[in-house]
Amino acid sequence: MIRIQNPEDVVSQSASDVNVKICGLRNAEDIVTAVEAGATYIGFVFFEKSPRNVSIDVARALAIEVPVGVAKVALTVNASDSFLDELTDKVPLDMLQLHGRETPERVTEIRARYGLPVIKAVGVATRDDLEQLAAYEAVADLILVDAKPSPGAVLPGGNGISFDWRLLAGRRWVKPWMLAGGLSAENVAEAIKLTGARQVDVSSGVESSPGIKDQGMIADFVQAAQKEHYHE
């Protein structure tokens, strides 16, 4: 298994900076763009139904070129131990992102088995959905608050939909957290203002079509997210 020396370092959350995660990257050019723009996290998707899906071999080739200091995140959905074993053995990862129906118990198991910080995605549509956050804050290293997919949706995330960000206003967080769901260069500043988020995640919001990243949109998104901090 490939591990970074101090995995806890990548989940620190500054009170002043806005960290950006660009998810669903599939080629070296887009990774270079994201890194040069100032992204803190690079996300690889391992979910066959997603247009952003990459193989383990492709992810390995891409991950070894990511500069030190940029966290490499693997997004999986209800993955088995056998898949995660192969993934962590072959790809130099810094974090695992669980974006399915994983229970708090499963999060605990994965975190213990692989010794990597775990991001748990939690879907939110209404205030009632916020109740599950506490259970996952107790076991995950970082919470990703995403828009809850509509019933029957094929993808658990990356659908380009948002939720009422005011639901998160003023919430006291036990663990570092990240905001996702329908974010773009046009609305990320507003989302940061309403939620107080210091970490944001984008995928479809920087694409010209599903699975195809736009390098200009990546740069614009990172700039817009970080510009909000500088204007405070």
- Per the residue annotation, which of 9, 23, 57, 201 is the catalytic one? 23
Q: Whose CA is closest to 199, among 73, 33, 77?
A: 73
- C-alpha 100/C-alpha 114 separation (Å) is 18
Q: Whose CA is closest to 160, among 133, 187, 126?
A: 187
Residue 184 CA to its chain's centroid (Å): 14
Distant-in-sequence, close-in-space partners of 107: CB < 8 Å, separation ≥ 6: 98, 118, 120, 136, 139, 140
Q: Whose CA is closest to 21, among 178, 208, 229, 184?
A: 178
Answer yes or no: are the C-beta atoms of 63 and 46 closer than 8 Å.
no
Tokens of 83: 């898949």
**Run of H or E residues at 28:** helix 28-37
- Per the residue annotation, which of 30, 94, 146, 201 is the catalytic one? 146
146 in active site: yes
Tokens of 98: 């669980």
Please report, in angstroms and rounded to a whole number, the separation of the first and last CA atoms in the chain. Answer: 42
Burial of 115 (0-12, 13-18, 19+ CB in 10 A): exposed
The residues annotated with a catalytic role in the active site are: 23, 146
